[in-house]
């Protein structure tokens, strides 16, 4: 059976390998349940690793590795204060947008899930006629 090249969709002949790797690294950061839990806790505000250890219930070394990965990806920031290190979301609005997009994609594929209700971006208000 011979395929008609005009009938098949056009496929890009070259992919941007660097961009593909960068995206994969970002999605890898979001693919781990512990890292998602850390991001959820950081969405409430700054935390130290010891605070995150209490929240997620894992060893300090494990939490530190996950936080380091998120820091490497640029998803979190570090603010030293004395002997403590405070971590926060690097881009809360962009993270909220990503959570919104993920929720929309999940809904479109038949799954309803909310990761962080407080992180959701406000929905635009539509004009509603007021009866008077």
Which of the four CATH numbers 3.30.450.20, 3.40.1080.10, 1.10.10.10, 3.40.50.720 does domain 20-109 have? 1.10.10.10
- Domain map (residue ranges) of the chain: 20-109
Distance CA 47, CA 89 (A): 10
Q: What is the pLDDT of residues 29-53, one digit of tens each?
A: 999 999 999 999 999 999 999 999 9
Q: What is the pLDDT of residues 74-120, one digit of tens each?
A: 999 999 999 999 999 999 999 989 988 998 999 999 988 887 776 65
Task: Report the predicted TM-score, pTM, of the whole model to 2 decimal places.
Answer: 0.76
Distance CA 128, CA 75 (A): 38
The CA-atom distances, in angstroms, between 24 and each of 6, 17, 21, 59, 113 are 32, 10, 5, 27, 22
Whether 75 and 39 have beta carbons less than 8 Å apart is answered as: yes
- Measured between alpha carbons, how far apart are the two ends of the chain, in Å? 68
């Amino acid at each position: 059976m011979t395929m008609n090249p005009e009938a098949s969709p056009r496929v890009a002949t070259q992919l941007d390998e660097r961009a593909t790797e960068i995206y994969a690294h970002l999605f890898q950061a979001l693919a781990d349940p512990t890292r998602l839990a850390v991001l959820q806790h950081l969405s409430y505000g700054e935390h130290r690793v010891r605070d995150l250890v209490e929240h997620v219930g894992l060893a300090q070394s494990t939490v530190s590795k996950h936080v380091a990965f998120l820091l490497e990806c640029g998803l979190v920031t570090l603010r030293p204060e004395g002997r403590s290190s405070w971590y926060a979301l690097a881009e809360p609005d962009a993270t909220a947008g990503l959570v919104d997009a993920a929720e929309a994609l999940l809904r479109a594929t038949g799954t309803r899930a909310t990761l962080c209700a407080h992180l959701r971006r406000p929905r635009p208000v539509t004009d509603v006629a007021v009866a008077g």
